Structure 1
Amino acid sequence: MDQKYALLYIGAILVTMTGYCYGKVLTVTSTADDDNTLLSVVQVFRHGERTPILFYPTDPYQNSSYWDGLGTGQLTKRGKQQLLELGQYFRSRYSDFLSTAYVEDEIFVNTVSGKRNLESAESFLVGLYPDQNTSSIPIHQTSPAILGSLAECLRYDLLYAKQEAEEGYFKDVNEENSDTYDYIRENSLLPVYELLTANSIWDTLNIENIFNYTLPEWTESVFPEKLTNLTNVFALSLCYTEEQQRLITGVFLNELINTFKSAIAEPSSSQKVHLYSAHDVNLACFLNTFDSFTPHMPHFASSIIFELKESKTAYYINAYYKPEDEAIPITLRGCDFNCKLEDFTSLFSDMLITEVQWIMKCFTPL
């Protein structure tokens, strides 16, 4: 393993040892201008806590009775509460920007397909508008292209498989952990051979650990440390190349820029807030694309916030990553924290694609 990749792997291990940390985190003491004006906010958040997506064959907690009768991959009560609290945070943060009661022309709510994402968006709205019945607020299902659905892009799947088989860094990690994979496979009876399946085991054990269930004795030698290290590397692998980043983030970045341009050109006819209920892989890919990523799998209910502001001299973007309690300022590809909209557009020009281009790329052979 050469020095560059060794440092990345060491970084992933340090995340496990020291807790979650984030690349290029800033301490911001001033804004672009004392009388800057907030024009638009876009937030992408991960759904709340869910039940495991899969159970390995020897898992002692497969019965739905352990999960309040819920099936696999379903939003839990705590997951709903997490999103309600995120909505409360958003209300507190933007109390002077967003009306107390729902106004159709102010906010647009999007979700990827899936029950847990829809329920997460619903819970967010309950926290955002505590004094009204939010069941009638429309939540729009976004197209698979907007947030780069991995499951619906054949080209991405082929690129990922090729990367895991041929990219030196990931080959080295898999080879160095072959004994760990063998051990997990023998005890779980799940065919664990590489990062993707190792992450699946980590996800299940992590959720069961959150629920304070006693994990099988065999897991003690691999969880949390070894499997968390591998999951951190898996998070990096999701959008490791520019082509992967373009497929997962390109359409959204195009939408983001157009949303902000509309807020400038037609403020009276553009919604002030756009919300997206998404997945951990989306947040990991955004942070990787922004060069603001220390590899880790984003928490349940974590989010990325983009703010468009106007100063006396320019329009600029502030970006924040909110992993848990507080939103942490981040830079976007080395642009200043107060990143001019024109600079942001230029920096990501090589990433921007339309929905039609996404469809064409996703089904074009390698």
Structure 2
Amino acid sequence: MAGPGFRGHPAGRLLLLLPLPQALTEGPLVFVAVVFRHGDRAPLASYPTDPHKEAVSTLWPRGLGQLTREGVCQQLELGRFLRSRYEDFLSPEYRREEVYILSTDFDRTLESAQANLAGLFPEAAPGRSEATWRPIPVHTVPVTEDKLLRFPTRSCPRYQELLREATEAAEYQTALEGWTNFLTHLENFTGLSLVGEPLRRAWKVLDTLICQQAHGLPLPSWASPDVLQTLAQISALDIGAHAGPPGAAEKAQMSGGILLDAILANFSRVQHLGLPLKMVMYSAHNSARLALQAALGLYDGHTPPYAACLGFEFRRRLGDPDDDAGNVTISLFYRNDSAGLPLTLGLPGCPAACPLGCFRQLTAPARPPAHWVPCHGFYEPTTPTATVVPLLAGAVAVLAALSMGLGLLACRAGCLRDRRCPV
């Protein structure tokens, strides 16, 4: 599917995609963050004329929007890939001080995280005997409090202002006018009001059709390949307006840049405190993955498939002084096909193994500045409780285990739950 690229994005331009070898020789791995989309799911909704709507409870016994058996298998396979990739980095069995898992508060992402962990750690794998099976904790926060993986863009005045600028632009309006007749015909076929409505409504029709097609259900005669392709182009236009120019970098600061900033800050905090944490895993949605891709200048109009995984690998270069930004590199990989090798992503102007300082500099325009209130677009000091996200709450226990003192523990406990702190 073709779509708008972010060539004008100051944070990343277009990234290079190359085959990624299984083993990297840059230096020893010191930290990993992976962000993956949930596995295959049932459609999020139906539409009035859907020929399968009366059989929803039979076709999708766990309900609309829920993870399917195929989705479970996809995440199991992804977990096994991560195990093979990090066999020499992670302990053979789960250790809570080494791995932290955060998910959005949705069934499909929580179950995806659990299935992924079942592939990553043998004690959580299917078929284990009752005596040896051990569940692994997955952390979450209520949807209304999630500022890391569920961005509050709908209630953000500044973001909505930038979105209006994008949708009122001549290029957007011209494309939309060209699809008016198509959407009018689609209204007759689906029973939905689509003309003049948010384009997300047309995307939901596409999502329903694709989900049904993927599970072998016959589509109505009007849902031809050309119709599906046009719906995909409409969806790409909508995504481009939400994450691309105008104001792409500022939009990123209110969405995917928050997660990118947290990944970098988590690494810095772990290094500075000498914590044994090795990996942070984020189980999220298509929207979070797209926003993160946009913050990196990576989005090219394609929607990430189910269980797609973006990985950040931090390595320490051998022979360099022990300096956080001076001797650490970041390598990015993207896995969107279980049948092939992952791809490596390279920021223009930086080698595939990008020095940490250079990576921070290149992505700075897309990350929120300190003491910024992004939804209003001005700077002011923020209070410690202004934006609460449980990034590494489990690290509090690690600090206690390292006997760093009750006073320090009390101080860090609040800091570890504050997105502004470099955790």
> Residue 24 in 1 paired to residue 31 in 2?
no
SS in structure 2 of the partner of residue 219 of structure 1: coil
Q: Which amino acid aligns with 2:343?
A: I
Match of 2:391 in 1: none
- With 129-138 and 196-205 compared, the bigger mean Cα shift is at 129-138
For the residues of structure 2 that align with 1:147 and 1:355, how far apart are their CA atoms?
Answer: 19
Q: Deviations over 1:102-158 (max 9, x none)?
A: 111110000012111111111111111123467642211155211242566433762
| Change over 3 Å in CA distance of 1:61–1:137 after alignment to 2 | same
Match among 283, 292, 296 for residue 302 of structure 2: 296
* Post-superposition offset of 1:291: 1.8
Match among 266, 269, 277 for residue 271 of structure 1: 277
Q: Deviations over 1:299-346 (max 9, x none)?
A: 011010000001123211000111122321012365321111111112
Question: Is the contact between residue 159 and residue 251 of structure 2 (CA under 8 Å) also seen in structure 1?
Answer: no
> Residue 86 in 1 paired to residue 78 in 2?
yes
> Residue 348 in 1 paired to residue 363 in 2?
yes
For the residues of structure 2 that align with 1:68 and 1:141, how far apart are their CA atoms?
Answer: 25
Question: Is the contact between residue 256 and residue 294 of structure 2 (CA under 8 Å) also seen in structure 1?
Answer: no
Match of 2:200 in 1: 196
SS in structure 1 of the partner of residue 18 of structure 2: coil
Match among 178, 181, 201 for residue 180 of structure 2: 178
For the residues of structure 2 that align with 1:302 and 1:316, how far apart are their CA atoms?
Answer: 23
Question: Is the contact between residue 104 and residue 150 of structure 2 (CA under 8 Å) also seen in structure 1?
Answer: no
Pairing of 1:23-172 with structure 2 (within 5 A) = 24-27=16-19, 34=25, 36-62=27-53, 63-132=55-124, 136-142=135-141, 143-150=145-152, 153-155=155-157, 158-159=160-161, 162-163=164-165, 165-172=167-174
Q: Deviations over 1:237-258 (max 9, x none)?
A: 3311222211112221221111
Question: Is the contact between residue 156 and residue 247 of structure 1 (CA under 8 Å) also seen in structure 2?
Answer: no
Match of 1:219 in 2: 223
* Post-superposition offset of 1:196: 1.9
| Change over 3 Å in CA distance of 1:308–1:223 after alignment to 2 | same
* Post-superposition offset of 1:180: 1.1
* Post-superposition offset of 1:189: 1.1
For the residues of structure 2 that align with 1:161 and 1:66, how far apart are their CA atoms?
Answer: 39
For the residues of structure 1 that align with 2:235 and 2:26, how far apart are their CA atoms?
Answer: 43
| Change over 3 Å in CA distance of 1:103–1:201 after alignment to 2 | same
SS in structure 2 of the partner of residue 73 of structure 1: coil
> Residue 322 in 1 paired to residue 332 in 2?
no
Q: Which amino acid aligns with 1:130?
A: P
Q: Which amino acid aligns with 2:311?
A: I
Question: Is the contact between residue 47 and residue 300 of structure 1 (CA under 8 Å) also seen in structure 2?
Answer: yes
Percent identity, aligned pairs only, is 25
Q: Structure 1: state its 5+ residue gaps.
A: 1-7, 13-21
SS in structure 2 of the partner of residue 131 of structure 1: helix
* Post-superposition offset of 1:35: 6.0
Match of 2:400 in 1: none
> Residue 307 in 1 paired to residue 332 in 2?
no
SS in structure 1 of the partner of residue 93 of structure 2: coil
For the residues of structure 1 that align with 2:272 and 2:296, how far apart are their CA atoms?
Answer: 26
SS in structure 2 of the partner of residue 52 of structure 1: coil
Match of 1:17 in 2: none
Q: Which amino acid aligns with 1:308?
A: F
Question: Is the contact between residue 32 and residue 280 of structure 2 (CA under 8 Å) also seen in structure 1?
Answer: yes
Normalised TM-score (structure 2): 0.74
SS in structure 2 of the partner of residue 162 of structure 1: helix
| Change over 3 Å in CA distance of 1:160–1:69 after alignment to 2 | farther
* Post-superposition offset of 1:28: 5.8
Q: Deviations over 1:250-272 (max 9, x none)?
A: 221221111221343334x2410
Q: Structure 2: state its 5+ residue gaps.
A: 7-13, 125-131, 321-326, 379-423
